[in-house]
């Protein structure tokens, strides 16, 4: 209903109804003319043509004509409605340029003075006091019209300044987004360089072992079957390790092609928890789910995000003592949703917090250091952010923000997160 009836519409109708009520004679002609003026004031903003310069001129001329008839019908030069001429004067001053503002100031004054032509001067006269009153009324029209025009110009100037500032802010925001994209790209290239160096170092050891084992296998192939089997086992395990390392490296270095679809976040998390429960060997921990019901489906790649949350749950399980609990929590956020993976395990040392997302950084004896790097990349590809809060011996909280869609992330969102 508010789309069709505005508060200002009601105010206009009340004001013109009050004029009708206060009319000394309240003739049908006066009532009709006042109601016509009120209707024009109400419908004027709703007609697009009346927002153009020609439409505004036409509208103000129509108001002036109705005002002229009202004054002429209700007493002419002595009409109590002479101030109604301010309606087209002020309307023109607030919406038209200086020329038309002056024109629509002079024309009502002349139309008011034309009422003198209808006086029968053989039976009437105007003394000096009456003449001064008439002059003051016409001058007041000019003063109020020009004052209104100045206020409108000042308001337009401020609006132009605000519009220019908004455009500058939008341009600065676009430049900032571009700079952030460049920084992210530079970080990825730097990470790729670090990854390459780390990969070369990691591959050198298993390849050396494979070579040495192969040489010894060649020398002992006919001497001791037990040694042969042991060396063959070394070769097989190291090859498997190298293959796994290369696979994970490619997962990090290769550009990702997201397959986005509207997916409930709870379904992705349930699959990640089920995968953790199927892990061999199983971890003797329990997962407490605290899912908000008002989290909307997100445009995400469900398979990749399942890997993200499984990796985080696996890390949390490895850091949690037997019988402990991991909390998996969701909540809606402006522009998306947040997922928290909380454990009460050993925590992360403060000096390691800045490095945990770097490739090949790990504190685990058996770790390679690519898990969280891949997690971070997948979140970045979705336009999300990840933040970690940890305290040694008290636990860790990984907070992941995911936007509703990549488009909303490109438009920008407010989220307190850092890496």
Chain segment 84-127, per-residue pLDDT in tens: 888 889 888 888 888 888 888 889 889 888 888 888 777 777 78
Residue that terminates a domain, selected from 125, 150, 168: 125
* Mean pLDDT of all residues in 330-351: 91
Q: What is the DSSP string of 320-355?
A: SPTT-EEEEEEEEETTEEEEEEEE-SS---GGGTTT
pLDDT at 418: 38
Does 48 map to a domain? yes
227 part of a folded domain: no
Chain segment 146-201, per-residue pLDDT in tens:
888 888 888 888 888 888 888 888 888 888 887 876 777 667 656 666 666 666 66
Q: Cβ of 118: how many Cβ atoms within 10 Å?
A: 9
What are the φ and ψ backbone dihedral angles of 304, each rounded to 5 degrees? -65, -40
229: pLDDT strictly greater than 80: no
In whole angstroms, give the CA distance from residue 221 to residue 273: 47
Mean pLDDT of 307-319: 91
Q: Tell me, what's the pLDDT at 330?
A: 94
pTM of the full structure: 0.47
Q: Is residue 21 part of a domain?
A: yes
Q: What is the pLDDT of residue 327?
A: 94
Specify if 245 maps to a domain.
no
Half-sphere exposure of 386 (CA within 13 A, CB side): 23
Burial of 383 (0-12, 13-18, 19+ CB in 10 A): buried
Residue 368 lies in a domain: yes
Give me the helix-helix angle, 7-22 and 28-43, nearest 10°: 170
Euclidean distance between CA atoms 413 and 296, whole angstroms: 17
Whole-Å CA distances, 175 to 182, 313, 335? 10, 37, 21
> How many Cβ atoms from other residues are within 10 Å of residue 217's Cβ?
17
In the chain, what percentage of residues exceed pLDDT 90?
18
Provide the CATH number for the domain around residue 265: 3.30.565.10
**Domain that residue 391 falls in:** 258-419
Percent of the chain with pLDDT over 70: 80
Q: Which of 97, 125, 153 is the last residue of a domain?
A: 125
Measure Cα distances from 210 to 197, 226, 240 in Å: 20, 17, 11
State phi, psi for 263 to the nearest 5 degrees.
-135, 130
End of a domain among 64, 96, 125? Answer: 125
DSSP 235-261: HHHHHHHHHHHHHHHHHHHSPP----E
Q: Which two tokens stand for residue 172?
A: 């600065």
Rg (CA), the chain: 40
* Domain assignment present for 398: yes
Q: Enter the tokens of residue 378.
A: 């997948």
- What confidence score (pLDDT) does residue 195 get? 64
As for how many domains the chain has, the answer is: 2
What strands lie across the sheet with 336-343, from one edge to the other? 286-290, 325-333, 336-343, 395-403, 385-391
């Amino acid at each position: 209903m508010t789309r069709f009836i505005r508060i200002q519409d009601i105010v206009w109708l009340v004001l013109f109804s009050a004029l009708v009520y206060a009319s000394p004679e309240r003739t049908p002609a006066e009532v009709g003319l006042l109601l016509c003026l009120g209707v024009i004031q109400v419908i004027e903003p709703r007609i697009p043509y009346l927002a153009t310069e020609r439409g505004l001129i036409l509208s103000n001329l129509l108001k002036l004509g109705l005002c002229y008839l009202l004054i002429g019908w209700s007493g002419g030069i002595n009409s109590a409605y002479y101030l109604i001429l301010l309606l087209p004067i002020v309307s023109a001053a607030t919406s038209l340029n200086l020329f038309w503002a002056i024109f629509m100031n002079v024309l009502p004054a002349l139309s008011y003075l034309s009422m003198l032509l209808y006086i029968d001067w053989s039976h009437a006269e105007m003394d000096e006091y009456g003449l001064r009153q008439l002059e003051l009324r016409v001058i007041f029209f000019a003063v109020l019209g020009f004052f209104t025009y100045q206020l409108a110009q000042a308001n337009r100037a401020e609006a132009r300044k605000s519009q220019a500032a908004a455009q500058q802010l939008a341009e600065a925001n676009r430049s900032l987004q571009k700079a952030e994209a460049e920084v992210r790209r530079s970080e990825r290239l730097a990470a790729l360089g670090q990854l390459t160096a780390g990969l070369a170092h990691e591959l050198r050891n298993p390849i050396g072992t494979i070579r040495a084992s192969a040489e010894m296998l060649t020398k002992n192939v006919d001497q001791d079957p037990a040694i042969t089997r042991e060396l063959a086992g070394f070769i097989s395990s190291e090859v498997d390790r190298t293959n796994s390392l290369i696979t994970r490296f490619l997962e990090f270095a290769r550009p990702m092609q997201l397959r986005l679809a509207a997916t409930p976040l709870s379904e992705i998390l349930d699959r990640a928890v089920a995968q953790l429960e199927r892990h061999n060997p199983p971890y003797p921990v329990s997962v407490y789910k605290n899912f908000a019901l008002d989290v909307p489906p997100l445009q995400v790649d469900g398979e990749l995000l399942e890997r993200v949350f499984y990796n985080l749950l696996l890390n949390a399980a490895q850091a949690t003592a037997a019988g402990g609990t991991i909390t998996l929590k969701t909540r809606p956020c402006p522009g998306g949703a947040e997922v928290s993976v909380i454990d009460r395990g050993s925590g992360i040392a403060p000096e390691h917090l800045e490095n945990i997302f770097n490739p090949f950084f790990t504190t685990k004896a058996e770790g390679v250091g690519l898990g969280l790097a891949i997690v971070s990349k997948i979140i970045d590809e979705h336009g999300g952010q990840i933040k970690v809060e940890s305290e040694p011996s008290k636990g860790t909280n990984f907070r992941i923000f995911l936007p509703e869609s990549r488009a909303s992330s490109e438009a920008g969102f407010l989220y307190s997160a850092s890496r």
